[in-house]
Structure 1
């Protein structure tokens, strides 16, 4: 089949490939970290609308790329005892082979992967293939997440719907209760932004799901949005609040037709946020916030990337002093890694605008700010 006759559901578009790259990079880090925690015995991975697995153009979607990343982890760390339960679900018929279900194509390909056993011969992965509607598989995931052992189990849910009408904010919140789970959610934010005002204020055919979403996220009134990126940022912060989690990020993806999608991440774990930001910066080394076909552009709002130093200075100026813990939290919330915050601090220190002192009274090496060192408290203040 030529590319000209393939539909967007039969091939993995560039923006979707970028999304899968972020997921698999994070998954590799996620497993390697949890595998080193002796108390954690099991990780539950959910790909709730997993798609075709392998597409007509030969590219691999999350349903195949995810299990392959698990296999790489097992190969790289053969002596770790972490067990993975992987739930792959899709209720649809294949767009590539209409006579078959998507999940059957996924199972056929994933079953060809040879996963190693533990040193004592036990399987290291349990795979489940399901073809359930979104609401049913989501409820199953919630039920399982809410029964996780507080110290022995973790969960990661990847939710990539074709649209959003089947996704309920209450379900997302329930899936995050307890702090043992994380959610990656993919949404068509360009379309949501384009129809937000009409859907919020008027009833029209096809707008019911968007209206429900917006009314729950913005219950008082719909804010004004300067552009689609402003909409994405406000949506992210409001969702984080509604889902009752302390950390979130967003990664924006643009198609060849200039439609904008977003990959939102929600977690109760600060280290999880930092590692997700690492995955995003790996995909977008210029800005860490998005992917588009013209790689010379970034997807921060105009001036947002350049304004981070000014934002950090304003944050420092708003209090007599800030700790290394404060600055780490601030940078991550803004979408920047510790290395980016360190770079700004070094420039401030080099120009004599920053005073740095350690609470233990010991001397500090110039340029060392200990953002990722919880064992030492460092204080920062701007000089007058």
Structure 2
């Protein structure tokens, strides 16, 4: 395991950041390039805060299960016969073999190594060839639980046993999402796009949180939405990004027949991005998965009214996959390379007090949350 940054590094990492975005520099480049800071990310951020897993449709029925990797740890979420949602480390208590893979429906959890069997509620019920053991009782053994919750139609987990409920720390986010997407729990999975990016995860989030770069890098997008209506608002652990669909022709995809005409986007600390593009009712979940100091995985999951996208949605997916994502990936990979040179340490935050999309106040908000998390991990 990589050592955490030194006490001196923790003391220095806040240098240049000011709570007022009009006076603030960005997060230091070391936080994006140093292995020690990636370890701080994993321990102080990813393992301590709520992480998106899936839509509730994957876990509606008793027996449903989903596996996931959270902060490098294997997790399984189950819906037991009592209807309760539970999450566990996906590790057998006998010899640490992984228990389940993928997703599906089952009546029990059986380890594929030595056939130890657990209930979906985590209790061990059978361990073959253990009758002669002394001081061994299956009733004493249970899988280690992890916090899990349903939130705005999705399932989230948190590895921190002392974590506050997501509904409590997220303020009005769920109410806001359900206002704009009242049918969110009835949407269904249609398609996943995946990307492997040579950049730190915080660069990916930084780029997502501002549209200051849009007129230069995303000319199609600037016609898809009305940039004059683009507003970004920050809250405790999330930010909302709202714009109306453009009224003229655009080169991204045709929205002339769109029933949803508000581009509504929410970022939830630390790695979940929910997006509602103009079109039919839908929700896109961008899940940012940190892998290393200079590598990030992204998944784009599309939840639609029907499993099969309509022609407008097919065109929107094409635009995201073939135009928008290559543009953004090229940007953040270039930034990562630049941050790895001696030519860059910090840059100035650009702030518009009116809260327009062409402002970096949401980036500044994110950097404040990162630094607060580092403060909790400091030796």
- The two structures have a TM-score, normalised by structure 2, of 0.28
Higher helix fraction (1 or 2): 1
Tell me: higher relative CO, structure 1 or 2? Use CA pairs within 8 A at least 6 residues apart: 2
Higher strand fraction (1 or 2): 2
- The two structures have a TM-score, normalised by structure 1, of 0.28
